[in-house]
Copies of this chain bind each other. A is one copy, B any other.
């Protein structure tokens, strides 16, 4: 039931990234967050290396994430800790490299002001 059936590595890119510094409303569901949603519809577990790019320093990572077969994982950048934390209030970008075909989508919930705002887009699928 894979969305793709090739067995090449898959790369995805997200030029936009920003963790708002403040939040309004109950946590964790209304905490401001920047999320990468990864779907692994395949029969084998996928290991994804996330590299985070900044405007004025060397990239951070890779942050290694596992998405089991036939599962989805929605990771919040503000919960990244190893090898380092992603600073809030700072523009960044990310590239995902998976050893199995996966699909990635980007979502932000911004609750800095009293009412939350949302954005989402499918990430850019790179050449294998």
List residues of chain A with CB under 8 Å of any chain B CB: 1-6, 11-18, 21, 25, 29-30, 35, 37-39, 41, 51, 53-56, 58-59, 70-74, 89, 91-93, 95, 97, 103-127
Contacts and interface: CB of A to CB of B under 8 A. Distances in A.
Given A113-B115, A113-B116, A117-B116, A15 B37 contact: yes
Report how many copies the assembly holds: 4
Given A108-B118, A122-B122, A122-B124, 8 more contacts: A3-B11, A13-B41, A16-B120, A30-B113, A55-B73, A58-B70, A113-B116, A119-B119
A32 to B, nearest CB: 11
Contact of A72 (B54, B119, B123): B54
